[in-house]
Structure 1
Amino acid sequence: MFGVSTYCLHREPLSRALENLAPITDCVEVMDEGLHFLESAEPLESYSYLYFIHAPSRGVNIASILEPIRRASVEVLTQTFAVAAEVGADVVIHPGYYAWREERDRAVEKFRQSLSELTAAAEDLSVAFFVENMGNWEYFFLRSCEDLPLIDGIGLALDVGHANLNGCLDCFLAHPAAHFHLHDNNGDEDTHSPVGAGTIDFSAVMEAVRRSNVIPIVEVETFDGVTASIGALEAIDAAARGE
């Protein structure tokens, strides 16, 4: 089974997006931003999906060296955890960033502090969360495998498109992942293109998915691109099984 991110329908109200996804999947990752921002779990409870929630990232920086911003960011994510707990969803978060290269060491300390606080909050709510690797945005943490020790003990949400942008997909695929975001690109822009439209070897990606034994999320920009991607991924799976 392949899950689908509501990102492909982010210009539609959440209720309409959830209705439109029903014919193609039983698993949805809600992009908790914009029209799909979750003030409560109520919009999700009318549907029988297996849910994941991608926590808000705009304006959120759990590695900020400005303590009020860091604390507020942790609070925002903790609120997401509370919503997720009501529908049994795991949560994907972003790792944060630093504004100046000279601030990296201080930002690492803040990042670790935030992860400790979030781990405690997740345990209190019986929620699991994963940290997503970032694209080619300067000063973000977890752009490369070198930053993996920063999230030691916390699951990796492997975004294969982001890893491709940084030229380190093979390294990330060798690392156990708890969650996957699947989309394609040509290695230069984060286009969230359909599977097969870029340069990513999805045969290798699907080998890693099978090893991890998790439901991957198709995070493509358009609904038509999502359906095409699911077809392409199913064909890759069938070929791997010799069918």
Structure 2
Amino acid sequence: MFAISTYCLHREPLPRALEVLSEITGSVEVMDDGLHYLSSPEILESYSLSYSLHAPSRGVNIASLLEPIRKASVQVTDKCFAIAAEVGASVVIHPGYFAWVEERGQAEGQMLRSLHEITAAADERGVSFSVENMGNWDYFFLRTPAELPLFDGAGFTLDIGHAHLNACLPGFLRHPFDHIHIHDNDGTTDSHGAVGTGTIDFSAVTAAIGREGITPVIEVETLEGVQASILALGY
């Protein structure tokens, strides 16, 4: 079994994306951003799909030193949790970033404060969430396995493309994970390419998925790439 992220159709309205993907799979991860931003669960309830949600991330920073922005980021995440609770979905969140390297310590404190509040909100709504590792972008938290202890108590989403960009995918694969994003790249650009078009060793990835017993989410940039990935993975 596999799931597909609506990222592959992020330039299409969400109803159109769900209509197309429902013909390919019974499980979809909604990228709750851009054209696919969710204001209510209504559209999701129109389809007989199982869901996970990727909480808004482009305008959100749970590690912001600017307290109004940090608080608003937690509130935006909680709104996603409220919708997830209505459709029985788990949620993926980003760990945030620091604007200046000199502020990393303060930003870490803000992030941990936010995670405490987000965990309480998730518990109150009966929703599970996990934090995704980031790509090779300066100032983001959770780029390597060494940072995983910061998130002790939260679930972990392994994005294999992001891990490959930081040359640490084998290290991440040795750790348990609750959720996984599947795409490929050449180790230099976060291209979200189809499986087999980059340099990731998918035999190790599929072995880890089998070990964890979870449903992988194909998070490829194009629908054609999704279809190629399904074939490459043998689903």
TM range (shorter): over 0.9
How far apart are 1:24 and its partner, in Å?
1.2
For 2:15, what is the secondary structure of its paired residue?
helix
CA offset digits 1:26-69 (Å, max 9, x no partner): 10000011111000000100111110000000110001111111
- 1:179 matches 2:179: yes
Match of 1:142 in 2: 142
For 2:40, what is the secondary structure of its paired residue?
coil
How far apart are 1:152 and its partner, in Å?
0.5
Q: Runs of at least 4 residues of structure 1 off by over 2 A?
A: none
Where does the alignment leave 5 or more consecutive residues of structure 2 unmatched? none
For 1:208, what is the secondary structure of its paired residue?
helix
- 1:224 matches 2:224: yes
Match of 1:203 in 2: 203
Alpha-carbon distance in 2 for matches of 1:233, 1:66:
43
How far apart are 1:100 and its partner, in Å?
1.1
Aligned residues: 235
CA offset digits 1:113-170 (Å, max 9, x no partner): 0000000000000000000000011010001111101110111100000000000000
Query: Which residue identity is paired with 1:88?
Result: G
How far apart are 1:204 and its partner, in Å?
0.3
For 1:45, what is the secondary structure of its paired residue?
helix
For 2:164, what is the secondary structure of its paired residue?
helix
Alpha-carbon distance in 2 for matches of 1:23, 1:69:
39
Alpha-carbon distance in 2 for matches of 1:107, 1:34:
26
The correspondence of residues 21-170 of structure 1 with structure 2, limited to 5 A, is 21-170=21-170
For 1:42, what is the secondary structure of its paired residue?
coil
Match of 1:241 in 2: none
Alpha-carbon distance in 2 for matches of 1:232, 1:31:
24
Query: Which residue identity is paired with 2:125?
Result: L
Alpha-carbon distance in 2 for matches of 1:120, 1:153:
12
RMSD of aligned alpha carbons: 0.7
Alpha-carbon distance in 1 for matches of 2:218, 2:58:
21
Match of 1:212 in 2: 212
How far apart are 1:217 and its partner, in Å?
0.1
How far apart are 1:97 and its partner, in Å?
0.3
How far apart are 1:231 and its partner, in Å?
1.1
CA offset digits 1:178-232 (Å, max 9, x no partner): 0000000000000000000000001100111111111110000000100110111
How far apart are 1:101 and its partner, in Å?
1.1
- Normalising by structure 1, we get a TM-score of 0.96
Where does the alignment leave 5 or more consecutive residues of structure 1 unmatched? 236-243
